[in-house]
Structure 1
Amino acid sequence: MSKQALPVVDIDAVACCPPMSVRPMEPDQAAVVAPMFKALGDPIRLRLMSMIASVPEICVCDLTPAFDLSGPTISHHLKVLREAGLVDSERRGTWVWYRVRPDVFRQLGALLQIPAHDS
């Protein structure tokens, strides 16, 4: 596994892109969106994302037991999701709480939309 860090994504830049089915992405647009998809490309992070997205917010203390991984490994995966701009986090005492960024997911969803064509 690569030790390369993902850059923190500028969330406002995601809205730059029309659906891929409308127009091919420019290189700079693809560079903005790719880290988000890269973050979701790992099965652990995808599962973490589904757990976070399924509730308004969730404590890391509820995420860690769902995996046969160490706490630091889970924290690393959560950091990747956070740096990709997919989740927000807030420390409350000794625990960190995570919530999905719905605006980002709506924008990613819009990017992947394919219009229905009447035949």
Structure 2
Amino acid sequence: MEFLRAFANPIRLRLLGLLWSSGRDGSGEVCVCDLVTVLGVPQPTASRHLALLRDAGLATCRKDGAWCHYRLTEPGDAVHRRLLATLEAVAESDPQLAADAERLRYVGCGSSGRGDCR
């Protein structure tokens, strides 16, 4: 049931879309500061929603000092696989998720020069 709750919130859906996009196009990990930049939400808001995704078993966090890097969790069962397939279909067809993925390509906590993580 937690899987379904994770998909029920627009911010969490956008976060899932960004994590899916990152896994498809890059390392699979995204720093919280980059998610905050793309979504335009306060860091505590993003972290709260990411914690809910983590608790639902949909995302994992790798800590690197003060920074947290998130990625999608590998599916553990058929329901999880089907939900990720649904996420893929939505991410490829939803204009908001596509725009988020495009913006993510141009941010990076170390490469942007903004020093968002510092």
**TM bucket, shorter chain:** 0.5 to 0.7
CA displacement, residues 56-85 of structure 1 (integer Å, 9 cap, x when unaligned): 111111100112321111110000000000
TM-score when scaled to structure 2? 0.60
The structure number with the bigger radius of gyration is 1
Hey, what does 2:48 align to over in structure 1? 76
Q: Check if 1:85 corresponds to 2:57.
A: yes
Q: Which protein, 1 or 2, shows the higher relative CO under an 8 Å CA cutoff with sep ≥ 6?
A: 1
Contact 2:75 2:81 survives alignment (8 Å): no
Runs of 4+ more than 3 Å apart:
104-107
Partner of 1:51: 18
1:10-89 residue pairs with structure 2 within 5 A?
34-55=1-22, 56-89=28-61
Q: Percent identity?
A: 37
Which of 58, 77, 80 lines up with 1:108 in the alignment? Answer: 80
Mark the runs of 5 or more structure 2 residues left unpaired by the alignment. 23-27, 86-118
Picking from 81, 88, 94, the partner of 2:66 is 94
2: distance between equivalents of 1:47 and 1:58? Answer: 13
Is the 1:86–1:104 Cα contact (8 Å) retained in structure 2?
Answer: no
Aligned Cα root-mean-square deviation (Å): 2.1
Rounded Cα–Cα distance in structure 2 between residues aligned with 1:92 and 1:62:
15
Deviation at 1:95, TM superposition (A): 0.7
Contact 1:87 1:101 in 2 (8 A): yes
Structure 1: which 5+ runs fail to align?
Answer: 1-33, 114-119
Please say if residues 60 and 73 of structure 2, whose CA atoms lie closer than 8 Å, have aligned partners that are also in contact.
yes
CA positional deviation for 1:53: 1.4
TM-score when normalising by structure 1: 0.59
